[in-house]
């Protein structure tokens, strides 16, 4: 399997995969969806009772219009910057599953007094500025006069197999690489294929119809219905795979981790087979 990077942005990637089989590409797709670890808020402590604002000595009640469970759930879905070289799963940490340390947990505090809207950017990382959520404008709750929240939240490493909040990628999909060919002897030069194609695969160059951007084709077949001269097929050994990340990891880090996980899994499988002999 060979991978060529067609587009690589911070949170979005488009890859060309060749010399591959559908099942291998699907294994990569499933690994990207379910197996990449990331940090997400899992434990939340709510401080109840009167909370001082600090400004003018106002005292608000430690309560909000939403149930604590809903706030905890929303906090869990906020993408948390993850450094896979630093963090390990809590149950793999030396201290055991009941304790925590800086290698397995990011601690955040959140202290807001209404009236205001509480955003993801109000989470104060205790472990260091680099763990501040990259998107600061995700709304969590709106507080009215006299309401306040004072929260300590703990993010730990997990994978999407356990809960979707640990899912790094979204919109992961692949398609066969399109082979678009033109048979000029059957083409009536009606330009209908040019008009119906939603992906602008065809172009007119010096009055002659040409296949300009074959990799844009999504195999919809609209052109084939219009003209006998056009044929569109998928190459079963060549694929275009696309995905996005939620920002907790970059698209490149996600791909590297996915390939590392897959290689390890195949290695484990090979070892198990050889032990059976
Ligand atoms: Zn630890």
* pLDDT higher than threshold 90 for residue 259: yes
Distance 36 CA to ligand 1 centre (A): 19
Distance 95 CA to ligand 1 centre (A): 6
Q: Are 248 and 168 in contact (CB under 8 A)?
A: yes
* pLDDT higher than threshold 60 for residue 192: yes
Please tell me which residue, 106 or 63, carries the higher pLDDT value. Answer: 106
* pLDDT higher than threshold 60 for residue 54: no
Q: Give the strands of the sheet with 2-8, arranged side by side.
A: 2-8, 12-18, 230-245, 169-182
CATH number for the domain running over 38-163: 2.170.120.12
pLDDT at 150: 92
pLDDT at 65: 86
Q: Rounded mean pLDDT of 128-140? A: 93
Distance 156 CA to ligand 1 centre (A): 9
Give the C-alpha distances (Å, rounded to integers) separating 177 from 107, 213, 215. 45, 12, 7
Q: pTM of the entire structure?
A: 0.83
pLDDT at 267: 95
Distance 173 CA to ligand 1 centre (A): 35
Considering only CA atoms, give the Rg of the chain: 26
Distance 99 CA to ligand 1 centre (A): 7
Distance 106 CA to ligand 1 centre (A): 10
Q: Classify 2-35+170-243 by CATH class.
A: alpha beta
Q: Which two tokens stand for residue 259?
A: 């390939």
Q: How many CB atoms lie within 10 A of CB 173?
A: 9
Distance 41 CA to ligand 1 centre (A): 15
Distance 82 CA to ligand 1 centre (A): 15
pLDDT at 227: 83
Q: What is the pLDDT of residues 204-213, one digit of tens each?
A: 888 788 888 8
- Give start-end residues of each CATH 2.170.120.12 domain in the chain: 38-163
pLDDT at 57: 62
Distance 97 CA to ligand 1 centre (A): 8
pLDDT at 260: 96
Q: Rounded mean pLDDT of 169-174? A: 94
pLDDT at 32: 96
What are all long-range contacts of 107-111, with beta carbons under 8 Å and residues at least 24 apart? 107/152, 107/153, 107/154, 107/155, 108/41, 108/151, 108/152, 108/153, 108/154, 108/155, 109/150, 109/151, 109/152, 109/153, 110/149, 110/150, 110/151, 110/152, 110/153, 111/51, 111/148, 111/149, 111/150, 111/151
Q: Rounded mean pLDDT of 130-143? A: 94
- Give start-end residues of each CATH 3.30.1360.10 domain in the chain: 2-35+170-243
pLDDT at 56: 61
Tell me the pLDDT of the chain averaged across its residues.
90
Confidence band of 58 (pLDDT split at 50, 70, 90): low
* pLDDT higher than threshold 60 for residue 51: yes
């Amino acid at each position: 399997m060979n991978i060529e990077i067609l587009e690589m942005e911070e949170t979005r990637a488009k890859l060309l995969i060749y010399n591959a089989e559908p099942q291998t590409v699907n294994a990569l797709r499933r690994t990207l969806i379910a197996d990449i670890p990331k940090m997400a808020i899992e434990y939340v402590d709510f401080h109840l009772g009167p909370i001082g604002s600090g400004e003018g000595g106002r005292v608000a009640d430690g309560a909000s219009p939403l149930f604590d469970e809903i706030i905890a759930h929303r906090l869990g879905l906020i993408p948390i910057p993850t450094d896979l070289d630093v963090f390990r799963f809590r149950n793999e940490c030396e201290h055991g599953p009941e304790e925590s340390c800086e290698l397995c947990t990011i601690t955040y505090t959140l202290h807001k007094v209404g009236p205001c809207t509480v955003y993801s950017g109000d989470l104060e990382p205790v472990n260091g500025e680099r763990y501040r959520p990259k998107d600061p404008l995700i709304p969590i709750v709106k507080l009215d006069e006299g309401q306040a929240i004072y929260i300590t939240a703990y993010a730990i490493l997990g994978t999407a197999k356990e809960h979707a909040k640990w899912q790094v990628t979204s919109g992961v999909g692949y398609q066969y690489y399109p082979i678009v060919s033109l048979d000029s002897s059957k083409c009536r030069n009606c330009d209908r294929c040019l008009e119906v194609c939603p992906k602008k695969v065809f172009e007119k160059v010096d009055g002659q119809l040409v296949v300009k951007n074959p990799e844009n084709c999504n195999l919809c077949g609209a052109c084939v219905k219009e003209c006998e001269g056009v044929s569109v097929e998928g190459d079963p050994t060549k694929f275009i795979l696309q995905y996005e990340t939620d920002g907790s990891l970059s698209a490149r880090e996600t791909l590297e981790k996915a390939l590392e996980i897959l290689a390890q899994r195949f290695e484990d499988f090979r070892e198990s087979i050889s032990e059976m002999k």
